[in-house]
Amino acid sequence: MQLLEIEYGLNEERLQKRSTYFVARHVDVMIALTAEAQALQASQRVR
């Protein structure tokens, strides 16, 4: 759940156009979320 919470916070910063928002950080989190989703799918296929 931690990555989803981080992504939510980053998206809120983006929507509010805060100066603390960095697109590179957001992309990194999105990549990590995608990798975790793919790993979960792969682990479920093995069973």
User: Contacts for 33-38 with beta carbons within 8 Å, 24 or more apart?
Assistant: 33/3, 33/4, 33/7, 36/3
Give the HSE-up count for residue 45: Cα atoms under 13 Å, Cβ half-sphere.
Answer: 6
Q: Tell me the pLDDT of the chain (47 aa) as tens digits.
A: 799 999 999 999 999 999 999 999 999 999 999 999 999 999 998 76
Cα separation, 14 vs 17, in Å, equals: 5
